[in-house]
Amino acid sequence: MASATFVLKEPKSKDNTLVYLLFRYQNQTFKYSTGQKILPKFWSFTNQRAKETKQFKQYGEFNALLQKIEDKAFDSYRKLTTDIIVPTKDRMRKELNRKLLKGELAKQNNFINFIDDSIKNSIKRPNTVFSYKQTFNQLVKFKAQYKREMTFDNIDLEFYDDFMKYCLEKNYSPNTIGTYIKVIKMFMNEAFDKKLSDNVEFKSRRFKKVSEESENIYLTEAELSKIYKLNLSKPKDKTLDRVRDIFIIGCYTGLRYADLFAINSENLFDKNSKLRIKTEKTGELVIIPLHTYIREIIKKHGGIPQFKLSNQTMNESLKELGQMAKINESILISSTQGGIVQTKPYKKYELIGVHTARRSFATNAYLKDIPTISIMKITGHRTEKSFLKYIKISQQDNANKLTNHPFFN
């Protein structure tokens, strides 16, 4: 005799948690994610449904959907047994998916809708969700231009070729295209894991993320000194002064943008000579000895300066600071747009941005012969390969570093 119950993934959670269907039959238990989430306080463990409360106004629709899933599970089981097919868990899942996808849940077979729903329920970092939304927007435009269906089965090599063509026509850079492909593969993997799709063409070697090494700059210690020593005492320079101080802290701690604005005086210890913080992106605890410039900034502000500026304001102000500090070296930057390599000259100050701080820290520490493992303990990089992408030294810098090496003496 078959039976069905609904359970919460994390019944003691303080946040929304998934609802699972447990379908028991022939001494087997088939577990199926409903894709629905609810706060445990709104869940009736006795009735295995959402409580009828004004605090959870959508309880009627929510419970109706659970009932539909339960009914379809019994239908799937009956169909398999009637057709004299052994109702394995995999067959049950496929049959239930088919039945649900024929009805009001049909939109789940639409890849774009699947991404849209995933974004709405995502608890990932804002920057990560932003990249999801960017990819979603491009897929919507691609669908309209190419007039093609976007079901899970259609995310194949033909789609890949057409999407690459679309991106190249838009003159997107390889790294931008690579980000889109990475997100598409991630969501297809998620759909595959949830048994919503059995399409594996996206795992083909041809369905690959493209990339191009970015030609990013770093600022030398001499250039950082020029910025640090700028006279910004005039009232009109108040914002520039704040940007300069937070940027210098970044250049001598290697912290990411989000962590840079999260630190405060409570992160200081050992007579304000060290900083301790658990980074947002990796959750790693890092301890950083503080440079003289940072200690002077702390003394100036009476602690870690507290202010929040937009990424755009920071980047615009940093370029202005670089220009004031006469960081005018001419830099040639090559990039690929629409499959064509273009080289363009820039003044170095035009290339300064928020991320220049972290790259400058890693490169300058490396040039000072600080062991790679010690720098990685601060930057939070887990592999040397990912860390070395931050090292931006010129041929001259490399030669200077090797001049006193025993091998050359």
If one compares 250 and 104, the residue with the highest pLDDT of the two is 250
Nearest to 352 by CA among 204, 244, 268, 265: 244
Cβ atoms 150, 187 nearer than 8 A: no
Q: Shortest CA distance to 131 belongs to which of 209, 246, 35?
A: 209
The mean pLDDT of 240-248, rounded to a whole number, is: 94
- Comparing 392 with 175, the larger pLDDT belongs to 175
Q: What is the tens place of the pLDDT at every residue in 103-149?
A: 444 454 588 888 988 888 887 878 889 999 999 999 999 999 988 77
The model's pLDDT over 300-326, given as tens digits with 9 standing for 90+, comes to: 998 888 877 788 889 999 999 999 999
- Encoding tokens for residue 225? 């000194």
pLDDT band at 335 (very low <50, low <70, confident <90, very high): low
- Report which of 53, 89, 57, 92 is spatially closest to residue 72, judged by C-alpha positions: 92
- Amino acid 13 reads S
Q: How distant, in Å, are the alpha carbons of 98, 184, 218, 224 from that of 327? A: 63, 40, 12, 10
Average pLDDT rounded to a whole number, residues 252-260: 89
pLDDT in tens, 21-33: 999 999 899 988 8
**H or E, element range at 332:** strand 330-337
pLDDT at 275: 92
- Residues 267 and 275: beta-carbon distance below 8 Å: yes
Give 5 or 127, the one with higher predicted confidence. 5
- What amino acid is encoded at 195 in this protein? K
CA 289 and chain centroid, separation: 28
The burial class, CB within 10 Å (0-12 / 13-18 / 19+), for 293 is middle
Taking residues 94-103, report their average pLDDT.
71
- Phi and psi torsions of 262, nearest 5°: -95, -20
Ordered by where they begin, the domains of the chain are 3-104 (no CATH), 111-203 (1.10.150), 221-408 (1.10.443.10)
Could you tell me which residue, 297 or 94, shows the higher pLDDT? 297
pLDDT tens-digit series, residues 165-192: 999 888 888 889 999 999 999 999 988 8
The chain-wide mean pLDDT, for the chain, equals 86
What pLDDT is attached to residue 385? Answer: 78
**What confidence category does residue 71 fall into, taking pLDDT thresholds of 50, 70 and 90?**
very high
pLDDT tens digits, residue range 186-217? 999 988 887 777 788 999 999 998 876 666 78
Name the nearest CA neighbour of 363 among 400, 338, 397: 397
User: Given this model, what pLDDT does residue 138 score?
Assistant: 95
Identify the pLDDT of residue 337: 66
- Would you place residue 253 in the very low, low, confident or very high pLDDT band (cuts 50, 70, 90)? very high
Interval 341-377: pLDDT, tens: 777 888 999 999 988 999 999 999 988 888 888 888 8
